[in-house]
Structure 1
Amino acid sequence: MEAVLSAGIVLGLIFFYLGLGVWVFAGLLLVAATALWLVLGMNIDRIGTIAANIAYRYASTWELAAIPMFIWMGEIIFRTDISDRLFRGLMPFVRWIPGRLLHANVLGCTLFAAVSGSSAATTATVGKITTAELAKRGYNRSLALGSLAGAGSLGLLIPPSIVMIVYGILAEVSVSRLFAAGILPGLMIAALYSGYIMIRAIINPDIAPADGERYGIGDYLKALADLAPIFILVVIVLGSIYTGIATPSEAAAVGVAAALVITLAMRQMTFGLLIETLLGAIRTSCMVCIILIAAAFLSTAMGYLHIPANVARAIGALDLSPFGLILILSVFYVVLGLFLDGVSIIVMSLPITFPLAMQAGFDPIWFGVYLVIMTEMGQVTPPVGFNLFVLQGLTKTPIGKIAIYSLPFFFLMGLGVLILVFFPDVALWLPRTLYG
């Protein structure tokens, strides 16, 4: 009874503080402090000491250094014409596929995700180019916006992924293995998106009108040159990790250096642009890191209250099969995705769900990939779907309409989860091959 009361108090406090509209990190800190004070009667000094120790421990975590560096690399690409080149480079190669330039959304997001690590940044960068171009060429608006909302979420799954770094730190698993595990599932979901677009285009060719343009060998060579900066960054960042030359944190710094060299070589870098990218990276990094520290404090508070252990025992008493557990967790994460962003979902839920998954016999690397896909689904569900907000800002389309447009891609992500559940080697084969 005491365990149920403690869990109820924490849940009530979460809804109360976040319902007030306070910043997420402040809400998490207040929930943890209030719960420790109400339930355990801790004084302010003791609570402050716990919070300070956690902040110091996480702030000095080496893996956390990768987050601001990957964000900075994404900012550099976002604010230069590398993203424009990405769309121009893809055009000749997708025009012969049913759906034509609609595939530029999927392929563009897939490639940009490999140098960004952020869902919102991926959606915004690719969307600022493709939305106007597709509208001008008469492409189906609902499919254009829906595919962009869905494909933008690949920024969470395809490495380097900020959310995966957060999971790796909290779950104490190898970030390099997580990155490797995210590649094939990310490509699988991208293939599902493209397959859906192809089927729609075959049924109704009018959704992707022919443009009549012809491309010669020179055009294809120019397109490859436009794609070269992105490919170079992908090879440098991921290659340095998987060859063992650099850790994920070191690879992030290598990626930033490579992005700066490329922009200098392209004569894009100016002092003003450098400051702009730094300020953008600082703002986003501070938001992510402070939420992570606040959520770690909440996790510790829940540990003091024995909530994770009690919930694990309660669910364990239901004697669920592993698949039954995953079904319940999937519903749980879809509901969380309605209200929270990806980082908040992971840091708030992991103290409870991770022990349950381990007890059920799931691989921690596999569970990380599953969890990231579930948070991806939250990126396209209102009222807090970040990708929906990004597209609303880009196109001025009501967020409800964008949510409806992205619904098929939400279900395709769900299909990806089913494939991952029944064929776990989709996530586990590559890290096992690379690292043994």
Structure 2
Amino acid sequence: MNLVAVAALLLGLLVFLLALGNWIGIALLIVGFAAVTISASVPIGSVLATTVWASSASWTLAALPLFIWMGEILFRTRLSEQMFLGLAPWLNWLPGRLLHVNVVGSGLFAAVSGSSAATCATVGKIALPELGKRGYSEQMSLGSLAGSSTLGLLIPPSIPLVVYAVAANVSVIQVFLAGFLPGLLVMALYSGYIVVWSLLNPANSPPPEPRTSFVFKLRQSSKLLPVLILVVAIFSALIFGLATATECAAWGVTGALILAWWSGTLTWKTFVESLMSAARLSATIMLILAGAAFTTAAMAYTGIPAALAAWVESLHLSPYVLIAALALMYIILGCLIDGISMIVLTTVVVLPMVKQAGFDLVWFGIFLVILVEMAQITPPVGFNLFVLQNMSGRDSLVIAKAATPFFLLLVAALAIITAFPDIALYVPRLAFPE
């Protein structure tokens, strides 16, 4: 059987298994078994055991469940209420006023959670009612929150960035550091759009709130001080090389537990709930990674990735045409599968092409995660859309329409970091000079 037929058969099998509702990790394992059986006479058991163990027994990967647990702990605190009260007085002077709380609050929580859905739920549970009560446009409130909550995937500590670093065999710390400036870029684009929209639509913005004293602003912001200390401590340790990503994750969990205790939300019930939720999500991701590792090894035996890379090379595409084609492919994939699956399913084929085209793999991780951000707000499987649907009662398609301008701003962010890759690479190179 030629390689084209094998590739079509394996792809069809994967689509069929996913359409039946199988878990992605299990579907990948089955496809791996089929690939090895069809294409190579190798001991399947040995390949399975070595690849699954190699993909799981990683000190770097130990950061993943810890960062997930940190986000789960903070999700159950009063952090969202404290963020709104602490940020609102400082943002009243900007056109769009409290709509910027969605952007800044999401960026702040993203820096301690690593999860887009947790960021969306945490900021949204207090921001949406408050914005609605004050008369802000519902469409802008929903759209800005849907877009801003995707920052949980880009601003470290980010779960997809850890998964990408493991899949691409690059430094987790360097990928984390690469997310800083692009994260700030996306926040600036979002806030800039809100400013322009507010100036063009003054009738849709409520009147300014009464001015408050500087002392009152400081008093309100003091509620955010513990969270800011946690963020600064984790990032300082990463930037100055005082701790590995895994060690920072462990300290982050400790800090999150202290914050939860300080806010009065750390009970035995919330502790167990956060632990079990983190264990479930970690186990799901680990199963996907194990299945992807086995499928990657199986694909190597078939020769499909090498043949595909050679075929793409024969087309003599310019690097930017290649990257544009990959972006389009990922946008389409984002309408069908979740972000973690997008990363693990495609890296085996995509990374050799990207490397051969001359792109830095750390930079490509940021490029890819911005595309994963887009997947969070594209129907029919955009997870942030479902979170906001449950919180607001609005149809997911209505929310997707509201989020469309922010989707386009992510496209603009992709174009900017492609034209100016140093935006992503400056901080890692500063911390790790060659």
TM-score band by shorter chain is over 0.9
Which residue in 2 is equivalent to 1:305?
302
Matched, 1:154 2:148: no
Q: Which letter does structure 2 place at the counterpart of 1:2?
A: N
Distance 1:302 1:196 in 2: 44
Any conservation in 2 of the 1:88–1:223 contact (CA below 8 Å)? yes
**Residue 125 of structure 2 is aligned to residue 124 of structure 1:** no
CA offsets, 1:286-314, max 9 Å, x none? Answer: 11111111111111111111111111011
Across the two proteins, how many residue pairs are aligned to each other? 433
Q: What's the counterpart of residue 337 of structure 2?
A: 340
Matched, 1:275 2:272: yes
Q: How is 1:2-151 mapped onto 2 (pairs within 5 angstroms)? A: 2-40=2-40, 46-151=43-148
User: In the aligned structure 2, how far is the partner of 1:322 from the partner of 1:159?
Assistant: 28
Aligned partner of 2:314 in structure 1 is 317
Preserved CA contact (<8 Å) 1:9 1:35:
no
Residues of 2 paired with 1:180 and 1:243: CA distance?
11
Q: Secondary structure at the match of 2:394?
A: coil
Structure 1 residue 41: Cα displacement: 6.3
Alignment of 1:160-175 (within 5 A): 160-175=157-172
CA contact (8 A) 2:85 2:221 kept: no
Residue 427 of structure 2 corresponds to which residue in structure 1?
A: 430
Deviation at residue 212 of structure 1 after TM alignment: 2.9
Among 417, 420, 424, the alignment partner of 2:417 is 420
How far, CA to CA, are the matches of 1:349 and 1:61 in structure 2? Answer: 21
Q: For 1:192 and 1:11, locate their aligned partners in 2 and report how far apart those are by CA, in whole Å.
A: 38
- SS across alignment from 2:156: coil
Deviations 1:194-230 (A, max 9, x none): 1001100001123321253331233211222121122
Distance 2:431 2:396 in 1: 42
Q: Once the 2 structures are TM-superposed, how far is the Cα of residue 54 of structure 1 from its aligned partner?
A: 1.8
Of the three residues 385, 391, 395, the one matched with 2:392 is: 395
1:60-84 Cα offsets, whole Å, 9 max, x none, are 1011111111111111111011221
Check whether the contact 1:105–1:147 (CA below 8 A) recurs between aligned residues. Answer: yes
Which stretch of the first structure deviates more once superposed, 119-128 or 31-40?
Answer: 31-40
Contact 2:39 2:301 in 1 (8 A): no
The residue identity in structure 2 corresponding to 1:15 is V
Counterpart residue type for residue 213 of structure 2: G
- DSSP-derived class of the 2:241 partner: coil
For residues 248 and 206 of structure 1, the distance between their equivalents in structure 2, rounded to whole angstroms, comes to: 47
Instruction: Name the counterpart of 1:411.
Output: 408
Structure 2: which amino acid aligns with 1:26? I
RMSD: 1.4
Distance 1:212 1:258 in 2: 35
Question: Structure 2 length as normaliser, TM-score?
Answer: 0.97
Contact 1:120 1:152 in 2 (8 A): yes
User: Distance in 1 between the 2:362 and 2:258 partners?
Assistant: 34
TM-score normalized by the length of structure 1: 0.97
Q: Deviations over 1:147-195 (max 9, x none)?
A: 1111111111111111111111111111111111110001101110110
2:349 is matched with which residue?
352
Residue matched to 1:363: 360
1:290 corresponds to 2:284:
no
CA distance in 1, matches of 2:159, 2:241: 20
**Is 2:215 the partner of 1:235?**
no
Structure 2: 5+ residue stretches without partners = none
1:188 alignment partner in structure 2: 185
Residue pair 1:101, 1:208 contacting (<8 A) in 2 also: no
Question: Deviation string for 1:94-121 (max 9, x for gaps)?
Answer: 1111001111111111111111111111
Residue 204 of structure 1 corresponds to: 201
Letter of the structure 2 residue corresponding to residue 97 of structure 1: L
Cα deviation, 1:255-287, whole Å, max 9, x if unaligned, reads: 111111222233332222211111111111111
Alpha-carbon distance in 1 for matches of 2:40, 2:55:
24
Moved more, 111-120 or 23-32: 23-32
8 Å CA contact retained: 2:376, 2:384 = yes
Q: Is the 8 A contact 1:114 1:159 kept in 2?
A: yes
Q: Give me the identity figure in percent.
A: 47
Contact 2:106–2:151 at 8 Å: present in 1 too? yes
Question: Is the Cα–Cα contact under 8 Å of residues 127 and 148 in structure 1 kept in the other structure?
Answer: yes
